[in-house]
Amino acid sequence: MKTLVLILVCFVLSLTLLMFESFSQEVRYKKFSSEEVKKMSEQQAIIRTKLGDITLKFFPEVAPNHVNNFIELAKKGFYNGTIFHRVVPKFVIQGGDPNSKNPDRSKHGMGGPGYQVKAEFNKKPHRRGTLSMARSAHPDSAGSQFFICVADSSFLDGQYTAFGEVLKGIEVVDKIVSQPRDGNDNPNDRIEMTVDIVTE
């Protein structure tokens, strides 16, 4: 058990450190109207992979900036061709790094969109299927990288911004996390994604 806790602690550190970006970038934050929040709540994301599709619903009522950021990036095709570059059984799968479009694995986990999003920590629990945003050591440093919890991970609560959950396709998440991986938890075979935004 102590070994598992140590591994999870090390991975949490990797969530913050391996995607390090200079904190001199613009930090984005705005207030959204109730109409804008309602419109976001009516949208879903479908992550398409060779192992199947994952449908996500969003939590704009608690993290509107993170939801809006994900939707805007997806609509621009930002995520298309990126991979799930970190998979840790019984913990998470992580993706959304533009550096992962390049086969050079040395920079996977360190990229972003060129700006950062202000933290919106909330009371949504990090449980199996939760969609949350990766960040560097500074709370207001999320960008494009996200993770999906494979198992309940309450120790992440209040530390990372949960902004959605898996609606359909949790079995695909399980397939992804089970893929053979290298020493950095990067799958041996690329698991590329395309992300579409649809209205319920």
Three-state SS at 190:
coil
CATH number for 134: 2.40.100.10
Per-residue pLDDT of the chain (200 residues; tens, 9 = 90+): 655 554 554 555 455 444 444 445 799 999 999 999 999 999 999 999 999 999 999 999 999 999 999 999 999 999 999 999 999 999 999 999 999 999 999 999 999 999 999 999 999 999 999 999 999 999 999 999 999 999 999 999 999 999 999 999 999 999 999 999 999 999 999 999 999 999 98
- pLDDT number for residue 25: 78
Kindly list the distances between the CA atom of residue 13 and the CA atoms of 9, 104, 109, 134, 181, in Å, as whole numbers in the listed order. 6, 22, 12, 11, 19
Q: For residues 120 and 6, what is the distance between their CA atoms, to the nearest angstrom?
A: 27
Owning domain of residue 71: 2-199
- pLDDT number for residue 22: 45
Could you write out the DSSP letters of every residue in 46-105? EEEETTEEEEEEE-TTT-HHHHHHHHHHHHTTTTTT-BEEEEETTTEEEE--GGGGSS-G
DSSP bridge pairs for 31? none
- pLDDT number for residue 21: 43
- pLDDT number for residue 32: 97
Q: How many domains does the chain have?
A: 1
Contacts of 77 (CB under 8 A, 6+ apart): none
Could you write out the DSSP letters of every residue in 22-52? -TTS-EE-----HHHHHHHHTEEEEEEETTE
At 167, the amino acid letter reads: L
Angle made by CA atoms 116, 125, 121, in degrees to the nearest 5: 30
Contacts of 9 (CB under 8 A, 6+ apart): none
Contact in structure between 171 and 52 (CB atoms under 8 Å) = yes
